[in-house]
Structures are given as C-alpha cells and as structure tokens.
Structure 1
Amino acid sequence: MFTGIIRAMGVLRQCSESQLRIQAADTPFLQEVAVGDSIAVDGVCLTVETFDATGFTVSVSPETLRRTTLAAKAAAGAKVNLEPALRVGDQLGGHFVTGHVDGVGSVLAIAPTGSSWEFTFSAPEAVATYIIPKGSIAINGISLTVARCNEKGDEFSIAVIPHTYAETTLQFLRVGEGVNLEADLLGKYTRKFLLPPDSSTAVEIDLAFLQTHGYA
C-alpha cells in the first residue's frame, strides 16, 4: 500500500525482457530498502530483487508491461516517480494507492496558471467510471485531486502546485504522452457494493433500501 506522495525520482532502464533497473543514486530511502520490499515505480507496485547504493532491480511480467507505460519508459531511459511502501505509523499525506494500474491515459493539454500548472488528461473507461470532481486519482503514482471532469469522466483536469511539479516527473510530461492511472480504491469498492452481481445498473438508494439494510 502507498500514499501517492513521491519520495524520489529515478531513471528506468531495461536489463532484459523481464527485468528492469531503476537508477536512483543518493536516494535516502534506499538506505533502508531490503530484498522483497515493494516500491511504486511510476505508480506500479514492484518487488526489489537486488539493490545497491545506486539503485535496484525488479522483474516485470508481460501483463505489467502491457497494462502500463513501463516498457516505453524503460526503452527511452525516462525518469520515473518512486515511493516505498507505507509502513504502520507513517503519515498518510495523499490517499490510499495500491500500485495496481487500472489503465493508461494520455496528456491532452498543459497550461501554466500563475505560479501553478493545469494538466488535462484522457482516461479509459475502466478509470473514467470513478473520476469525480474533487475526487482522488493517482497519475504515475502521484496522489492528485480532480479539479474538474466531463460527465463521463474520460476527460479531466488537475491543478499542480510548484512543489509537486518540481518534485515529480510531471515537469517532464508532454502532450500526447501516456500516463499510468489508478482510480480511488474507495470508489471501486463503493461501486462494487452498489451493483448487483449480474447487473451493470447501480442500485437506487431510497428510503426502502435504507430501511432494508438497517440504515433507517
């Protein structure tokens, strides 16, 4: 489990068809890392297999490469966001992020707004369902708040403050680039509970529903 608060940036390299190396020299949390630890790499939860003072290596399955931007990032030697797993007692500064990417979106627009920036993204249907104004979303592992979205949720904007822009890979994004998206975990469970097992139609919450389920 993660929080979406990025602790460092690294450079992603391809070692082999199924193994990646993340170069992250002078990254403080690497001093405490151990084999088997989970680290979110651009929002993808991966397991440390080897490490040293300059970085760490992970294995990736074809499924992970197919559903995320990691293959393209590794081929380009691009920078990625890094966050170690949440520990009991750690401060939860963002929102609960699992590191399981729901889909890949795309950057539609980037516009400076005073000292901040506004980014607009597209989202596939698997993610759009859960996007609401002022809701949480993880973009390349970063916990961000939806400023606005269209009715379907497949186009949305976020506002980025200078600190977040400077400390994450948002500063390197370009229009048309793909991004890893993870919808809010609470939204996923809420939708699951409100949908009958064999239906795509949400249950209507009225007085009768609340009385039946002990809420009124």
Structure 2
Amino acid sequence: MFTGLIQALGTVEPLGDDRFGIACAAGDSDAILTDLAIGDSVAVDGVCLTVVEILPEGFVATASPETLSRTTLGENLQAYANLETSLRAGSKLGGHFVTGHVDAIGCLDFAVSTGNSWEMRFVAPSTSPFWHQQIAPYLVPKGSIAVNGVSLTIANCDRGGRWFQVAVIPHSYESTNLRHLQPGSPVNLEADILGKYVAKFLGNHPGSPTDITPEFLAEHGFG
C-alpha cells in the first residue's frame, strides 16, 4: 500500500524480460534505500514491484507478464521514474490509498501553466484496451486518481470518462516526473480503490439499488 506522495526520482534500466534495475537520482537515495530490504515493495511510476536485490544506489526488481502488459514498464521508459516506498503503520497518509496495481495506460493530452498550478489533461491512447472498463467508471470530479504513482484530484472529466483533467501544484510538478511529460507521453493510471469497492457493492450486492438516492441514504442511516 502506498499514498501517492513521491519520495524520489530514479532511472529504470531493463535487465532482461522481467528484471529492472532502478537507480535513485543523485541525492535521493536515502529516501528510498534507508531500511529497504529484499522482499519490500516499491512503487515505480505507480507500479508495485518487489525488491530482489539491493544496490549501492538503487535496487533490482522483477515484474510479471501481467504487470508488463498493463503498464509502461513494457514500453519506452521515461527519463525519470517516480519512486515511493510502501506505507508503514503509523505513517501519515497525505495522499490517498494507492495499491500500486495499475489499471490502464493513459497519455498526456496537454499541460498548461496557470501561474499557481499546472492544468494537465489525460486521455486514453489507442493501445489501452482497459481504459473504458477499468478507469472510466471511476472518473468523478473531486475524486482521486494516481498518475505515474502521483496522488491527484480530478478537477474535471467528461461524462463518458474519455478524458480527465487535474490541477498539479508547483511542488508536485517539480518533484515528480510529471514535468518531463510531453503530449502523447504514456502514463500509468490507477483508479481509487475505495471507489472500486463502492461500485462493486452497489452493482453486485443483492437488492442494492443502481443509483444512490436520498431515500437510500436515509434508509441506511445517512442523513
């Protein structure tokens, strides 16, 4: 489990079909390598990977075929990857619950500086068959989403879930690889896990309504 608050940047080098060497950027290694042990989980651009070897300035991790098929790890890698170690019991939860299990790949449509933030819009690329099943149903204004492992709040989206827009504060923009994205750059997307469970309950629980109404909320103790 992660929070979507990036701790460091690093570079990713393929070491074979399923092995990757992750090197922390200069000055960032302490945030990731302190107390890191073999078997620990690290989110690499939002992808939960298991550490199999620790290096002086980084680590080696492996990825399953399923992970490679659903993430950017199987594509051209960005210049830098966002890194976050797993959430420890008692730690602050400043973002939202991020599992590191990527749902689909999206791509940057555009990024515009507004003076006090960056407005970024993401859309579904033609190579992402999972978008409409795994991402679109959970895109709601003010909802949470992880983009390359970064916890962001959706500012706007269309009703069909074909695109969504976020406002990124300068700190998040400068300290993550979001600033290196160009239009068309692929990104890993993970929908809010809490939204997934709510949708499953409402859709599959016997007797559950298809819509949340004031009457339904009142009947179940809300209001």
Asked if TM exceeds 0.5, the reply is yes
How do residues 1-216 of structure 1 correspond to structure 2 at under 5 angstroms?
A: 1-24=1-24, 26=27, 27-28=29-30, 29-74=32-77, 78-123=79-124, 124-125=131-132, 126-196=134-204, 202-203=210-211, 205=213, 207=215, 211=219
What is the CA–CA distance in structure 1 between the aligned matches of 2:100 and 2:111, rounded to whole Å? 25
Instruction: Name stretches of at least 5 consecutive residues in structure 2 with no aligned partner.
Output: 125-130
* TM-aligned CA distance change 1:214 to 1:109, over 3 Å: closer
What is the CA–CA distance in structure 2 between the aligned matches of 1:32 and 1:209, rounded to whole Å? 45
RMSD over aligned Cα, in angstroms?
A: 2.1
For these two proteins, the number of residue pairs brought into alignment is 212
Query: For structure 1, which segment, 120-129 or 6-15, has the greater mean C-alpha deviation from structure 2 after superposition?
Result: 120-129
Instruction: Name stretches of at least 5 consecutive residues in structure 1 with no aligned partner.
Output: none
- What one-letter code is carried by the residue in structure 2 that aligns with 1:170? L
What is the CA–CA distance in structure 1 between the aligned matches of 2:216 and 2:184, rounded to whole Å? 48
- What one-letter code is carried by the residue in structure 1 that aligns with 2:34? Q
How much has 1:203 moved relative to structure 2? 5.0
* TM-aligned CA distance change 1:121 to 1:164, over 3 Å: same
Cα deviation 1:62-93 (Å, max 9, x = unaligned): 1111100012244x6x3100000000011100
CA contact (8 A) 1:196 1:203 kept: no
- What one-letter code is carried by the residue in structure 2 that aligns with 1:62? P
Q: Given the two structures, how large is their TM-score scaled by the length of structure 1?
A: 0.90
What is the CA–CA distance in structure 2 between the aligned matches of 1:205 and 1:162, rounded to whole Å? 38
How much has 1:215 moved relative to structure 2? 6.5
> What residue is the counterpart of 2:128 in the other structure?
none
What is the CA–CA distance in structure 2 between the aligned matches of 1:151 and 1:69, rounded to whole Å? 26
User: Secondary structure at 2:135's aligned position in 1?
Assistant: helix
Cα deviation 1:117-150 (Å, max 9, x = unaligned): 1100014212011011111100000000111111
